[in-house]
Amino acid sequence: MRNLVIFLLMIFSAACSGEANMERAQMSMAAEDADFQEESEAQHFSDQKPLEPERKLIKTANIRFQVEDLEKSTEKIKALTQEYSGIITGMFQNNNHYSIRNNLTIRVPAADLDRFLDAVELESIYTEQKSITAQDVTEEFLDISTRLETKKAVRDRYISILREKAQSVKDILDAEEKIRVIQEEIESIEGRLKYINNRTSLSTVNVEIYQEVEYEAPPVAHGKSFFTKLKDGFLNGWDLILDLAVGLVSIWPILLILTLILVFRKRIKLFNRK
């Protein structure tokens, strides 16, 4: 009986030892698999090259030139704006009696900016000025995008707390207030991103065209009043006095000769009387 018990204990011990060895082997294999997976992922990310961010440029063009016919050139520029899927955001025309001018502010797709400028300049008979400037806002755009993702993650955490962990009314109100504040910040950031995207996708073109004309005196809007005429008469009289004084000074040699003649004649008369 004693031998049987010892035999059974030996069998049980061997079985337990085998199971422990199998568990240790399985854990070792799992660890090796995990290490291999981490190494593979690290290798995968190390092999990936960082992507170059898309440049965000706000382009502004300015051009000023002379045209033969202002009205026809204006209509041509309007047609070109429609052709290049642009919009006219402002137009101002004025007349300075020597020329008539038209200033247009146009937004066109950034990709078509150069072609649009070349097409507009075909209306020119003399180009005075042409320039293109670009403001790089890529860094600002990336920074704002990162802030936006962070704000959204914080908002989602508060929403999760509100759904799963908020128990009292105070907890609910606190979570809702934090969600409201973060949502307002998110909307503000999204508005800024939208503005940057709009400015970078559409370039601004400031076009000034002018046509030279013969001088035309400005029309008199109404007749002059009595006091205005009186003032003008006084000024004209004073101007006449100044002109006479200047004229007398200008003919001083003649006045001197006449004076000498008069003095000489007077002396001759006195001599004849004697």
CATH classification at residue 65: 3.30.70
Residue in the block written with tokens 């033969």: 68
Same domain as 149, residue 172? yes
Domain-located, residue 86: yes
Closest CA to 69 of 266, 228, 183, 213: 213
Specify the length of the chain in residues: 274
Tell me, yes or no, whether 253 lies in a domain: no
- How many CB atoms are closer than 10 A to CB 171? 13
127 belongs to a structural domain: yes
- Say if residue 74's pLDDT is above 80: yes
Same domain, 155 and 110: no
Residue 261 lies in a domain: no
Quick check: 129 pLDDT over 50?
yes
Are residue 162 and residue 173 in the same domain, yes or no? yes
* pLDDT value for 118: 94
Percent of the chain past pLDDT 90, that is, above it, reads: 41
Do residues 79 and 194 share a domain? no
Q: Are residues 126 and 184 in the same domain?
A: no
Burial, 200: exposed, middle or buried (Cβ in 10 Å; 0-12, 13-18, 19+)? buried
Out of 212, 233, 258, pick the residue that ends a domain: 212
Give residue 256's pLDDT: 79
Number of folded domains in the chain? 2
| Contact between residue 119 and residue 207 where contact means Cβ atoms under 8 Å apart | no
Residues 85 and 184 in one domain: no
Closest CA to 86 of 249, 203, 207: 203
Contacts of 163 (CB under 8 A, 6+ apart): none
pLDDT tens digit string along 16-38?
444 444 444 333 433 344 443 34
Q: Which residues span the domain enclosing 92? A: 57-137+203-212
pLDDT at 12 over 50: no
* Lowest mean pLDDT across 27-31, 170-174, 213-217: 27-31
- Return all residues near 116 (Cβ < 8 A) that are at least 6 apart: 80, 81, 84, 86, 106, 108, 205
Burial 155-167 (b: 16+ CB within 10 A, else e): beebeebbeeebe
Listed residue (87, 130, 80) closest to 105, CA to CA: 87
pLDDT tens per residue, range 148-165:
999 999 888 888 887 887
Q: What's the rounded Cα separation, in Å, for the pair 151 and 158?
A: 11
> Encoding tokens for residue 165?
């962990």
Q: What is the pLDDT of residue 39?
A: 45
| Whole-number pLDDT of residue 10 | 53
Q: What is the mean pLDDT of residues 225-252?
A: 75
Rounded to whole angstroms, the Cα distance separating 40 from 63 reads 57
Residues 178 and 100 in one domain: no
Burial of 130 (0-12, 13-18, 19+ CB in 10 A): middle
Name the pLDDT band for 222 (thresholds 50, 70, 90): low
